[in-house]
Chains A and B, each alone.
Chain A
């Protein structure tokens, strides 16, 4: 097993996935915000709302296209770089990916064309429906991809088949209603809504600072602050739900995120700050909040959360058990299933630990020949590197809470203080535009780096999942992606800025027509004529 291939494949996957996720959250949230704006337009017929729909729609389009383009890579990358993974779990993992295509991608991609080209070909209501279908399609795709990802974290509804040498589905229901997947889905789409809200807020604030497009800006802020605030609460609550499900499904990940080296008596304390030292297995300069971790992780004051050293001991037991499973597996495969009941029973008893025997294959070709030292080493390998997890998680959480504060402030001022934003608040709104992306990437990093050394938790080690490629293959594609994606990013940012600077396109004739109709309506109802806002 060539270690360079594993590291390069991981690097490539991390890079392409994180790059893809620069565009996804904005697509998720902005699609809904645009649909809300268009709904208001259809209900009130006010041209300003149509203008807003089209303006934010244009920015949505520029972003959407790169989300789609970089998503193509994701769909094929498992087969290209992770061929043993694809073989080993494709029976389960492939299904949500295919359903994502059938249920979500087709919907969003088919209607997004009409969303931009259909303004003059469709009635107002039909166009509104099209816009909502794009938004719903985008959000459905997040559902299925998180069901796939949730299965990698918590592989339920499947069992290993020694003849086909892979995991096979036993319950589709369990795969879909995996508690990890459901919590992650709502957490992730809510994060997308917050991202889009902060984006809309920031761009609108910039217009207010420059004193342009005031009508568009103030309405956009009103929508974004309300939608964003609700979503920000949802992110934190479902983030907590994710933490809770992690505490019983991925104990090692949780312990590593918290740098909990030893098991403490319940309820565990939460480490607010500290410098984790993996060598010494201690966290220096730690500041603790008593009870907090126990409450978050177990929702009780009496349940213990196991620490890293205890989990490592458990892993060592599972490596030993896995060796027995491995031995039985070879016998079953050699005889093509025609073995004594004894061997079958041994395999049944230990097959859930088979993946732990695979961890040894980094050090020895046949896990049955492993030395004591190698077994200890394999158990130690189940501990992810702690400090990046510890910090990325804390940065994400801190940002998540600050979004609630910012959005609540804008919500209050927008609704109860007559939109009288001080300049410092507007400037802050512009400056914080990138922060939701940082929070989202930190969240993914925590989830996936914390899953190491596994691709599928406890089932298949990352080192075993890769394709049989050469270093040259990987260097070519890695360099290709870096160059290609960098160029695309520069172009995308350039266009975004260009269209933000340009501002909304005002259809003068449309606005005048509406004003005439509005006045006529008010005259006939006998009320005094007031000028519409725009």
Chain B
């Protein structure tokens, strides 16, 4: 196939870096409110009827939303194989915790209301809480670690290695900065879940969601700002010694990298990227105000804007780095040396250009069919409600 030569390798790499961001943001915007709602469930719903109401707001859509996560895994595998290989094996036990939590979720949704027993239902409610809160926290912690660099090495054959004791490695992930990033992620998704609940419910559930969501919004705002300051003052960045060949082969060991300077130097080199953190701060602030003011549709939109800004700011700040290595900086994965081949990136782009608009179109149609508040009547009339 020669067709793929029409788009240059470096441009394809940038496109796939953007698409990686689109997927992560798509996941956070859609499945993010499912996780938020799951984590809020035991607190915004006090009676069984209220809890069923909460679950059924996301009942018909969580499954489609979750595919963003699965597609994220598949797309990283296809477009950034070294990233897929290094990150998931490096964060092994953390990934296991995420998987276990995420498996609890579908099962919880589907099975919770299939038996009458109060203990059964209460048990599943807490399972759903874990299924929402644990991944939300771990994703943030993971990002916090990526910003500091992950302790991996690559052998001459590009085999990823993680020297050291497995337990200490796991504990090492839970450092203060990473935990702060975890707080940002959890609080942000709680706010997002609350924004969704105020749109889809009425009455006491809506009131509680509004209160908790406001607090979560404030926490997210403060934690995000604090993380920015910390990044400026206390976390060294990574730099390439010489500009990498943007069209070169995907061999991470061929670019020399040192640790030093600050990640925030990127804002001096590319001032326009400041739009991302501004969007993050403004979006969260406006969503928090929107929750107080009861502007439901606007709140959800601002919440989405804020999340997009927060995730976008991490990617733009680190560019061209994707996964820096703290043990062997020259093994760091960057946009220029950790992608698939030219042909694979091209084929995957064609497939994405065909299917992504279709996905967005039918997802929008499904949300349109389901538009409106969920009512207790609707739940009791449908045999298949959760």
A residues bordering B, Cβ < 8 Å?
54, 57-58, 61-62, 65-66, 68-73, 75-76, 78-81, 83-84, 86-87, 90-95, 97-103, 105-107, 109-114, 116-122, 161, 163-166, 168-173, 333, 336, 467-470, 472-473, 476-477, 480, 484, 488, 491, 495, 498-499, 505
Contact = CB atoms under 8 A, between A and B. Distances in A.
A76 B73 contact: yes
Contact of A106 (B341, B359, B370): B359
B376 interface: no
A226 B88 CA distance: 46
7 contacts: A66-B107, A76-B99, A79-B89, A90-B81, A113-B62, A170-B343, A484-B103
Contacts of B158: 87, 164-166
Interface string B346-386: 01100110011001001100100110000000100111110
Main secondary structure of the interface of A (DSSP, over half): helix
Interface residues of B, number: 78
A69 B67 contact: no
Interface stretch (B249-257, B258-266, B301-309, B312-320): B249-257
Contacts of B114: 62, 495, 498-499
A81 B74 CA distance: 15
A105 B381 contact: no
Interface stretch (B40-48, B90-98, B173-181): B90-98
B384 A117 contact: yes
Contact of B106 (A65, A76, A103, A172): A65
Contact of A94 (B77, B106, B355): B77
A109 B343 CA distance: 29
B160 interface: yes
Interface in B201-251: 249-251
Contacts of B60: 113-114, 116-118
Contacts of A80: 88-89, 92, 95-96
Contacts of A120: 378, 381-382
Given A169-B341, A171-B1, A65 B366 contact: no
Contacts of B267: none
A480 B100 CA distance: 9
> Which of B85, B159, B382, B384 is packed against the most chain A CB atoms within 10 Å?
B85
B15 interface: no
B85 A110 contact: no
Question: Which are the 9 A-B pairs with shortest beta-carbon distances?
Answer: A90-B81, A79-B88, A113-B60, A94-B78, A94-B77, A110-B64, A101-B71, A98-B74, A467-B89
> Which of A75, A87, A107 is packed against the most chain B CB atoms within 10 Å?
A87
A84 B383 contact: no
Interface of B: 1, 59-64, 66-67, 69-71, 73-79, 81-82, 84-89, 92-93, 95-96, 99-100, 102-103, 105-107, 109-111, 114-115, 156-162, 166-167, 249-251, 254, 340-341, 343-344, 347-348, 351-352, 355-356, 359, 362-363, 366, 369-370, 378, 381-385
A396 B348 CA distance: 37
A118 B369 contact: yes
Contacts of A91: 81, 340-341, 344
A97 B343 CA distance: 16
Contact of B344 (A169, A333, A473): A169
A172 B67 contact: no
B250 A164 contact: yes
B344 A95 contact: yes
A87 B74 CA distance: 13
B121 to A, nearest CB: 13
Given A87-B82, A117-B59, A99 B351 contact: yes
Given A101-B71, A101-B75, A105-B71, A168 B366 contact: no
Contacts of A97: 73-74, 77-78
A367 to B, nearest CB: 12
Contacts of B385: 117
A93 B381 CA distance: 45
Contacts of A491: 107, 111
Contacts of B62: 113
Given A76-B73, A469-B92, A488 B64 contact: no
A117 B370 contact: yes
A172 B159 contact: no
A183 B76 CA distance: 28
B348 A98 contact: yes
A83 B88 contact: yes
A112 B63 contact: yes
A446 B191 CA distance: 50
A462 to B, nearest CB: 15
